[in-house]
Amino acid sequence: MNEGFVAAFGRPPEAVAQAPGRVNLLGEHTDYNDGLVLPIALPQHTVVSLGRLSSGSDFTLRSDAFAGPLRFDVERLPDEPFGRYVFGCIREVLAAGHGVPPLDIHVASELPMGVGLSSSAALEVATLRALRALLALPIDDVRIAQMAQRAETDYAGVRCGIMDQMAASLADTGHALFLDARTLQTRLWALPAGAAVLVLDSGTPRSLVASGYNQRRSECEEACVRLGVASLRDVERIEDVEALAEPWRRRARHVVAENARVRRAVASSDAATLGELMNASHGSLRDDYEVSTPALDQLVSLLQAHRAVHGAKLTGAGFGGACVAVCVAERIGEVARDVLADYRRLGGRGRLLAPSPPPG
Ligand code: GLA
């Protein structure tokens, strides 16, 4: 794990930490509405290695993901988006009252960027874990997720919820993390027996994700004002949103129904029920929340039509990127091959993102 740092800086690191990407099975666009989510960690990780410098005030960041070193100090936000996540984490540690010495930092990641697998949350959580290890910081995993979220909202400009950072900090690959974004209470939920998670990239870039995402958040805030509630989590009956004007009616209906779907999924341990709820979630994200794209709809339809798939949906913010399916575990390789071939015949260019390594 140390080779990248040694090659970049000519000495071994003093602290190394990693964090996984995530895929969300259910509960989309609910976290910033104080709602319920069900992400699961992916096998791919981001690894951050740190070493103290004896002098200066600078941070030097190197990664295989870009050519030259990135240099910054704590006063100036780096131009490069990648550097902003790391800068944001360092600022969060300083804001919590802990000193941070000048550092050499190396980042190595197996996670593809920009497809919706939360490579940024993995980078933030791995950075904070490495800082915690190096500086013996008294912060727990939930606090790490909160600091990571603020690094993203305050320094990278996306008003994200806390799901991705909580998943990177607390989830594992064998269980989904049932998270209540209002209380930050979590419970590990085992995947139904014999089921496995497949993640396919639609091959279309996530265009408009930042602007579309922030717009959806504002629409939810406006729906709350019109309903006279503090958050859409407080709407208990779906009928209560029906009197709203559009688009607030459909936005609120998605959020309220999606929370109910997560509750139903974790109350059962049945793959068919989970699959049905995932299919319904995709329909709601497409028609009510309007964050799907024609390519995502096509790939999801192909997945849903496969006999070894229990259910499928887009995952994450939407607007392009990846889809997730829950399949019969022993047929996961067949599903990936069949669906990617059909998608290609229809003109799409998809690829397998998980499991990783690919099934034989
Ligand atoms: C992105 C955000 C999350 C969440 C999802 C949608 O991944 O970072 O906080 O809102 O979109 O469910």
Ligand 1 atom closest to the Cα of residue 161 is: 9
Which is catalytic among the residues 164, 201, 288, 342?
A: 164
Please choose from 163, 259, 290 the residue to mutate so as to test ligand 1's pocket, defined by most ligand atoms within 8 A of CB. 163
Ligand 1 atom closest to the Cα of residue 163 is: 9
State the distance from the centre of ligand 1 to the C-alpha of 135, rounded, in angstroms. Answer: 30
Please choose from 26, 29, 117, 179 the residue to mutate so as to test ligand 1's pocket, defined by most ligand atoms within 8 A of CB. 29
Ranges of residues in the chain whose predicted pLDDT is under 70: 1, 208-209
State the distance from the centre of ligand 1 to the C-alpha of 237, rounded, in angstroms. Answer: 24
Strands 322-328 and 195-201 turn out to be antiparallel
Ligand 1 neighbours, Cβ below 6 Å, are: 24, 28-29, 31-32, 160-161, 163-164, 316-317
The predicted structure's pLDDT at residue 1: 65
Please choose from 213, 220, 232, 282 the residue to mutate so as to test ligand 1's pocket, defined by most ligand atoms within 8 A of CB. 213
State the distance from the centre of ligand 1 to the C-alpha of 160, rounded, in angstroms. Answer: 6
| Residue of minimum CA distance from atom 1 in ligand 1 | 317
Q: Per residue in 213-229, pLDDT tens?
A: 999 999 999 999 999 99
State the distance from the centre of ligand 1 to the C-alpha of 286, rounded, in angstroms. Answer: 16
| Phi, psi dihedral angles at 65 (to 5 degrees) | -75, -20
164: annotated active-site residue: yes
The predicted structure's pLDDT at residue 208: 64
The predicted structure's pLDDT at residue 64: 84
State the distance from the centre of ligand 1 to the C-alpha of 295, rounded, in angstroms. Answer: 20
State the distance from the centre of ligand 1 to the C-alpha of 130, rounded, in angstroms. Answer: 24
What SS3 string covers the chain? CCHHHHHHHCCCCCEEEEEEEEEECCCCCCHHHCCEECEEEEEEEEEEEEEECCCCCCEEEEECCEEEEEEECCCCCCCCHHHHHHHHHHHHHHHCCCCCCCEEEEEEECCCCCCCCCHHHHHHHHHHHHHHHHHCCCCCHHHHHHHHHHHHHHHCCCCCCCHHHHHHHHCCCCEEEEEECCCCEEEEEECCCCEEEEEEECCCCCCCHHHHHHHHHHHHHHHHHHHCCCCHHHCCCHHHHCCCCCCHHHHHHHHHHHHHHHHHHHHCCCHHHHHHHHHHHHHHHHHCCCCCCHHHHHHHHHHHHCCCEEEEEECCCCCCCEEEEEEEHHHHHHHHHHHHHHHHHCCCCCEEEECCCCCC
| Residue of minimum CA distance from atom 9 in ligand 1 | 161
| Residue of minimum CA distance from atom 7 in ligand 1 | 316
